[in-house]
Chains A and B, each alone.
Chain A
Amino acid sequence: MPVQLTNLQQATLQAVVNRLIPVDEYPNAWDAGVGEYLARHFEGDLKHLVEAYANGLDALEQEAKARYGNGFGELTAPQQDAFLQDVEQGAVVTVWPIAPGKFFRLLVEHTMQGYYGAPLNGGNRDAVSWQMTGFESRR
């Protein structure tokens, strides 16, 4: 795990990416290795964004508390999805240190890179998304 993020930030991150790619017959983002993908890139090409991630995750948690009285992880899945749509649109009620829409786009892109990209980058465990899509023949 990225050493720079606190336990709470990591827990929020995990909960968020699992709504960006939720579980169905195929695993959610975290179980498919998106956490590992991010951890590797936080020490490499995304090093310059670790602080933005920490700030954005804190703001997201604070926004959830302001609106629902609960942390993001304690919301129901439909609440989480509706909340994330608002974050995506920049419709927030608290003060964010990073533009919420911009932070959300980063989260989405990096999550997709970890889920659909080549396993050599740490994500896409057992090439699971390549079988899901049919890029590789389904086992």
Chain B
Amino acid sequence: MQQYDAIIVGAGAAGGIVAGVLAEAGWHVLLLERGPSLRFEDVPRDDIRSQRLSLYGHNAGPEIEGNPRVVVEPNGNERVVRPHEGGYHNNAACVGGGTRVYGAQAWRFMPQDFQMASLYGVPEGSSLADWPITYEDLKPYYERAERELGVAGQNDTLWGETAPDAAYPMPPVVPGPQTQALKRGAQQLGWRTFAAPLLINTVPYGGRAACIACKWCVGYACPTDAKNGTHNTLIPLALATGHCQMVTGAMTERIETDARGKVCGVSYFVEENGSARHESARAKVVIVSSGAIESARLLLNSHSAQHPHGLGNESDQVGRHLQGHYYPGASGLTEENVYNGVGPGVTCATNQFNHGNSGIIGGGMLCDDFIKPPIDFWYTSLPPDLPRWGAANKQYMRENYTRLLHVKGPVQEIPSPHGRVTIDPQVRDKWGIPVVRLSGTTHQATVATSEFMRHRAEEWLRASGCYKVWSQPRGIGLSGGQHQAGTCRMGHDPQTSVTDQCGRVHAHDNLFVIDGSLHVTNGGFNPVLTIMALAFRSAEHIAKNFN
């Protein structure tokens, strides 16, 4: 059987970074990825089969057949869903994970985001808690992620930064006509705005070309490789060392433990010529980086005589506190043209309402949206009183595609222990591995924050000159999706957390979870830069302490 220093399950935002850091440190690494390595031409610009609008499928995995999940609705009804269907909470399954096709917003969480319980108290029925680390602990790793992958931004978003040399490695995206309108509105309201930070090359960086401002950014692969994920940064770096072996199409079945219950490796399936080959590998350290839903699934599926409820699950914490982001926003029509066809389209953000909102827990960032292909616009950007068909509908599409402002943003979620991942007792995937069962909802307080932010979005659009503004309230439900987090939260107390502050699973000395699962709370921002910073920090810890 093959012996490695480390096995990493999942080559996404976190796993790719851990592979890079450990391989650079001289470790022999096996990097297992269930999906394929996708070239640009493997990711079609199919606007009804993307991670953005997934009517019939996806362009970056997982395959829609053979990978079901079970969803339990709040009313108790159960459904078996496929990856592109509602309630599945999918993220891309390929080398790079979500970073292969994401929009690449590169926000640091704010210092307050790590201390939500201390700042706001714990609402009844919620599992709101402080992180075991602070912003200051993570800051050097935010900087490292920004530098090593490449972030373009405006320095105002480097919270409280006073060092004269603190700066993003690349200048921010250029403003467009929508930026001018939104800046005017914000000025009138007394709100500060700035360019959203992006993991996108605004100038050539890291040996890769600059963004050519095409319209196909979020949900698609970049034609000039200017969008920075782990697939084009840390993973190639890991492979170039010669001691990282990446196996694609490899679905991990379980983490193996020895007779004493100590983690010793993994077993996995590899598809070859239409049939499955079962493989096992051993390692000093096993690192689970499969995303908040699949990481919890793997720990729970790895039960054994010594660990009857799954690995790390002695306190019934694995899979709980699943969170993502509610995404309140508003649309508005202007008299002027606010579209110039220059992608990615995200240009103007405010963090005026991330904290300090009277009577509200937390808050969120607001920002203009990525350019939407017209069919996406038809689904998302019609006023509620407009007919869905006929001459009036066509006229609306024709006149207003270039005159619509859309702002939205992720709301800091108030986690609930009942929003969770468990294992379904019956349903299995194409490998025969028991699948995820998703149940519960977020905490009700999330809805109040979301409603507050929705009204701020409407206010911004009115001040920006929109003569007609609308939005949709959202009711309570489970959240996860591409921003999924929280299912193996880090903490000091094994009774209320799954890992220590470096991602090491309590009661195991060589098993780590490193991905969004660790997030105690998920900020009012896109979480990927925090996932990356935590990955650098934990990987550095492993490299230092296990040699």
Contact = CB atoms under 8 A, between A and B. Distances in A.
A21 B341 contact: no
B44 A135 contact: no
Majority SS of interface residues in chain A? helix
A36 to B, nearest CB: 15
B378 A22 contact: no
Nearest to B397: A133
Interface-central residue, A20, A81, A113, A130, by most chain B CB under 10 Å = A113
Nearest to A77: B391
Nearest to A45: B56
A47 to B, nearest CB: 11
Interface residues of B, number: 27
A133 B394 CA distance: 9
Given A20-B389, A45-B56, A135 B373 contact: yes
A112 interface: yes
A116 B390 contact: no
Interface stretch (A3-11, A55-63, A64-72, A117-125): A117-125
Given A108-B389, A120-B44, A134 B339 contact: yes
Nearest to A28: B394
A24 B215 contact: no
A136 interface: yes
Nearest to A16: B389
A117 B47 contact: yes
A134 B44 CA distance: 22
B375 interface: yes
Contact of B55 (A24, A113, A136): A113
A132 interface: yes
A22 B391 CA distance: 6
Contacts of B260: none
A116 B394 CA distance: 10
A76 interface: no
Contacts of B388: 108
B48 A121 contact: yes
Contacts of B375: 112-113, 116-118
Contact of A22 (B47, B390, B398): B390
Contacts of B48: 113, 117-118, 121
Interface residues of A, number: 26
Nearest to A110: B55
A21 B398 CA distance: 12
Contact of A120 (B45, B397, B402): B45
A51 B44 CA distance: 29
Contacts of B46: 118, 120-121
A20 B44 CA distance: 28
Contact of B377 (A19, A81, A132, A133): A133
B328 interface: no
Given A116-B374, A121-B48, A22 B55 contact: no
B401 A133 contact: yes
B391 A134 contact: no
A135 B400 CA distance: 11
B153 interface: no
B410 interface: no
B374 A133 contact: yes
A135 B394 contact: no
A128 to B, nearest CB: 11
Contacts of A113: 48, 55, 375
20 contacts: A19-B389, A19-B390, A21-B394, A22-B391, A24-B391, A26-B394, A45-B57, A84-B389, A111-B389, A112-B389, A116-B373, A116-B377, A116-B397, A118-B48, A118-B375, A133-B377, A133-B398, A134-B339, A135-B215, A135-B341
Please give me the 5 A-B residue pairs with the lowest Cβ-Cβ distance, nearest first. A133-B401, A45-B56, A116-B374, A116-B375, A134-B402
Interface of B: 44-48, 55-57, 215, 339, 341, 373-375, 377-378, 388-391, 393-395, 397-398, 401-402
Given A22-B390, A26-B398, 9 more contacts: A20-B389, A21-B394, A108-B388, A112-B375, A117-B47, A118-B45, A120-B45, A121-B48, A135-B374
